[in-house]
Amino acid sequence: MVVYDLIIIGGGPAGITAGIYAARQKLNTLLITKSFGGQIARKAVGIENYPGFEEISGLDLIKKFEKHLRRASARSDGHKIDIERDGVRKVKKIGEKFLVQTTGKNTFEAKAVIIASGADPRPLEVPGEKKFIGKGVSYCTTCDGPLFANKKVAVVGGGNAGFEAAIFLAKFAKKIYILEYSEKISADVENQERVKKTGKIEVIINVQPKEVKGEKFVNSLVYLNGKTEKEVNLAVEGVFIEIGTQPATSFVKGLVDFNEKDEIKVNPWTSQTSCPGLFAAGDADEVPYKQIVIAAGEGAKAAISAYEYLQKF
Amino acid sequence: MVVYDLIIIGGGPAGITAGIYAARQKLNTLLITKSFGGQIARKAVGIENYPGFEEISGLDLIKKFEKHLRRASARSDGHKIDIERDGVRKVKKIGEKFLVQTTGKNTFEAKAVIIASGADPRPLEVPGEKKFIGKGVSYCTTCDGPLFANKKVAVVGGGNAGFEAAIFLAKFAKKIYILEYSEKISADVENQERVKKTGKIEVIINVQPKEVKGEKFVNSLVYLNGKTEKEVNLAVEGVFIEIGTQPATSFVKGLVDFNEKDEIKVNPWTSQTSCPGLFAAGDADEVPYKQIVIAAGEGAKAAISAYEYLQKF
């Protein structure tokens, strides 16, 4: 069995940058990811804060990142990066070797591992939510928004992500409700003004979602008005959930130290976790600011650290 | 007198990224820099490890960064970024206000400061070096290399920077000597192979430079062979110095804590220095890996931290 120098888990900005650096250092590397892009692929509006690109769609930026990775791999003199399209179920360490088991039940071995698995959308955790995934419930506005032409939809979450999702949906849907749990809208002023301008987005506060209902497809969202304590049955055919993310780190539980948010603890200078040879970068670790360019920088750090660690073998 | 929200010192990847973020947060910002680019502007070979650009010259990347900054500034609804083309002589804190004095003897005020002044080339510190700056002695191969067509030149420094400088000079110069202090070449294998291929670069080890000599212009470099202990007079018309960098941080001496390398100590998660309201990012701080994408990520962190700090006013 091939023992890789390095396995990178994740195909977002941190994982891809780690891959570019690993290829240039001529490490035998495997990158495991279900798809490229991470959270960028779900971004509903253009990206304006990754230096070098004044304005670019998430999809276009990720295409450029992926192309860069493939080119670095092609130029690495036979140490090219293998790519496995899968999720990860478990990472174990046996002696000095890491075993990475994928969802598809393959096992890969490496001397070092970088976790750049980012974060997944946080679910509402109400009845009906799981049942209607792909049948009206969505965590990805850019993926599913166009399917809701001339329909009524709800966006759960009154932060910037929720407002940006609603602005994107306004191109397709007939009517959009933004539902916010608290009394206060946290989206920034610019997004609030853009929502107003569409003329078809209604913002409702004090919303405690209770259930997603439907038959074959979603037909309503039931919520409690936290102020009046009345139950409301909101007729919508789509429910977009934009209430934040949670780190996708369950597959290393028990192997490394976490903080209280389930983020992996690291030495911020070297990306080293509590487990020697295991590094973490991007939104899966405890970096307080979740930004594309910060995640990319962390990916570079982790790859350089992994390279230094591998010199001892 | 205008009191800025934020003064950013430095126009390399860290400073420009901080500026892009500051403009988007609508902070009244002044960016002070002698020129844009920092160390990128001195890079002799293409950049292949800034994610999104498979291969780009330092000059082109910096142009894109600068254009991005100007666009973010133009879109910031009147909170545009002022740019002062100057060096910085001293930063002081009086009460809660920072005073930044430039080399050109202007003084600017701000509530917060980000130091992204990067690093300067390290000088050889031998007689004649200072005297012949611009007359044969250079710290910037890309700037000055083309002036040495058909001449003999020396590059001091056997690391990657020295080798890359020599490869660039091979396009112009007749003969190039790479002079390395120790017995060991630290440039990577790829650069060593490329140097060989040019057929006009000679690598000499055990070189202890003693003096740069000349009349109007440089005509030789005197060095001691560390092994034979013989003095050698090497006839060259150009001396390119590539022996590393030193942080450009002298203007905050006494105000913030430094490490033993004169790098500014920071909290790596927030870029906060030992002086409240003063942040540092990029090669001026103690981040162990000096990379463009890491510096850019740090610039973003510092700007977000500065924004949070400014909320208290």
Q: How far apart are CA A304 and CA A60, in angstroms?
A: 27
Distance from CA of B59 to the nearest CA of A (A): 12
Distance from CA of A28 to the nearest CA of B (A): 17
Tokens of B235: 């006839």
What confidence category does residue A43 fall into, taking pLDDT thresholds of 50, 70 and 90? confident
Mean of the per-residue pLDDT values for chain B? 94
Using the beta-carbon criterion (under 8 Å), do B51 and A291 form an inter-chain contact?
no
Using the beta-carbon criterion (under 8 Å), do A51 and B17 form an inter-chain contact?
yes
Residues 6+ apart with CB under 8 A from A153: A169, A173, A175, A176, A177, A236, A237, A238, A239, A240
Q: How far apart are CA A114 and CA A96, in angstroms?
A: 15
Using the beta-carbon criterion (under 8 Å), do B52 and A52 form an inter-chain contact?
yes
Chain A: residue whose CA lies nearest to B286: A269
Q: How far is CA A13 from CA A57, A78, A114, A296, in A?
A: 14, 24, 13, 5
**Mean per-residue pLDDT for B20-40?**
92
What confidence category does residue A1 fall into, taking pLDDT thresholds of 50, 70 and 90? confident
Looking at chain B, which runs of residues are DSSP E strands?
A: 3-9, 29-32, 81-84, 88-94, 97-102, 107-115, 119-121, 137-138, 152-156, 175-179, 201-204, 207-214, 218-225, 231-235, 238-241, 245-247, 278-280
Instruction: Give the tens place of pLDDT for each residue, B239-295.
Output: 999 998 899 999 999 999 999 999 999 999 999 999 999 999 999 999 988 899 999
* A231-235, strands of its sheet edge to edge: A207-214, A218-225, A231-235
**Mean per-residue pLDDT for B53-63?**
94
Calculate the CA A118 to chain-centre distance. Answer: 5
Strand pairing report for B88-94 and B97-102: antiparallel
Task: State residue B76's pLDDT score.
Answer: 77
- Other CB atoms within 10 Å distance of the CB of residue B99: 15
* Closest CB from A51, A72, A288 relative to B13: A51
Using the beta-carbon criterion (under 8 Å), do B53 and A51 form an inter-chain contact?
no
Would you state the torsion angle of the CA atoms of residues B9, B14, B15, B20, taken in this order, to the nearest 10 degrees? Answer: -150
A304: contact with B, CB 8 A cutoff: yes
Q: How far apart are CA A243 and CA B310, in angstroms?
A: 27
A92: contact with B, CB 8 A cutoff: no
Would you give the DSSP letter of residue A136?
T
Q: Which domains does chain B have, with CATH numbers?
A: 3-121+245-310 (3.50.50.60), 137-241 (3.50.50.60)
User: Largest Cα–Cα distance of chain A, in whole Å?
Assistant: 67
Task: State residue B216's pLDDT score.
Answer: 95
Distance from CA of A137 to the nearest CA of B (A): 32
Task: State residue A44's pLDDT score.
Answer: 67
B297: contact with A, CB 8 A cutoff: yes
* Closest CB from A54, A67, A293 relative to B71: A54
pLDDT(A17) > 70: yes
Instruction: Give the tens place of pLDDT for each residue, A73-114.
Output: 998 777 789 999 999 999 999 999 999 999 999 999 999 999
Q: How far is CA A311 from CA A4, A112, A277, B291, in A?
A: 14, 11, 11, 20
Using the beta-carbon criterion (under 8 Å), do A16 and B71 form an inter-chain contact?
no
Instruction: Give the tens place of pLDDT for each residue, A169-213.
Output: 999 999 999 999 999 998 888 789 899 999 999 999 999 999 999
A215: contact with B, CB 8 A cutoff: no
B30: contact with A, CB 8 A cutoff: no
Would you state the torsion angle of the CA atoms of residues A176, A179, A185, A187, taken in this order, to the nearest 10 degrees? Answer: -50
- DSSP letters spanning A214-236: ESSSEEEEEEEETTT--EEEEE-
Dihedral angle sign, alpha carbons of residues B169, B171, B175, B180: positive
The partner residues of A106 in beta bridges, in order of sequence, read none
Instruction: Give the tens place of pLDDT for each residue, B72-94.
Output: 998 877 778 999 999 999 999 99
Distance from CA of A37 to the nearest CA of B (A): 13
B244 within 8 A of B139, measured Cβ to Cβ: no
Distance from CA of A265 to the nearest CA of B (A): 12
Q: Per this entry, what is the length of chain A?
A: 313
Instruction: Give the tens place of pLDDT for each residue, B158-175.
Output: 999 999 999 999 999 999
pLDDT(B31) > 80: yes
Give the DSSP H or E segment for B274.
Answer: none
* Closest CB from B64, B291, B295 relative to A52: B64
* Closest CB from A17, A24, A54 relative to B293: A17
Instruction: Give the tens place of pLDDT for each residue, A159-171.
Output: 999 999 999 999 9
